Amino acid sequence: MQQKEFLNTVMPFKDKLFRLAKRLLVSTDEAEDATQEVLLKLWKNKSKIEQYNNVEAFAVTMTKNYCLDRLKSKQAGNLKLVHSNYTDESVSLQGRIETRDSLGWMSKIISKLPEQQRMVLQLRDIEQYEFNEIEEMLSMKATAVRVTLSRARKAVRDELTKTHSYGISK
């Protein structure tokens, strides 16, 4: 595989790798390092890339594993999964404050979920991956992915209802 082919194959999903690393590692610098490390590993093994059915899923799995290894080495257990630097300039100041507050609450709630639930919720609801892609990335069976996602969503919904009377009209 030549450099041009490699770039055409890998660059379209480079930002997804960074976002996943950022959510897992929190630090932008750490996420950039993780993304660079994964891309470097892919480049070193470029001759084997064509053997993979889904290079993007393979790269996401590599990123997830690299980040989790980094977190284990630091003995850090607080994964932050919600995209917290969302801004929309067309929204009023009050809207931006409400959005930031909502993202903060979601981040706190999601951070309390078990690791597997956080990962499935992140990949499906935030990154918008298909179920079959998540199965491949996390080496899970289809039913396990769906059950895990359902439990994660229920836990988030229950916590929102308990904390904010979410969905209950007064």
- Helices (DSSP H) in the chain: which residue ranges? 3-10, 14-25, 28-44, 55-74, 93-111, 115-121, 131-138, 142-164
Structure-model confidence comparison of residues 69 and 85, the more confident one: 69
Instruction: Name the CATH code of domain 90-170 (choices 3.40.50.300, 1.10.10.10, 3.20.20.80, 2.40.50.140).
Output: 1.10.10.10
pLDDT (0 to 100) of residue 90? 54
Q: Where are the domains of the chain?
A: 1-78, 90-170
Task: Write the pLDDT tens digit of every residue in 149-163.
Answer: 999 999 988 888 887
Question: Looking at the domain 1-78, which fold is it?
Answer: Rna Polymerase Sigma Factor; Chain: A (1.10.1740)
Q: Is this model's pTM higher than 0.85 or not?
A: no
Average pLDDT over residues 130-148: 91
pLDDT tens figures, 104-135: 888 888 888 998 999 899 888 888 888 988 99
Domains 1-78 and 90-170 in one fold:
no
Higher pLDDT pick, 105 / 39? 39
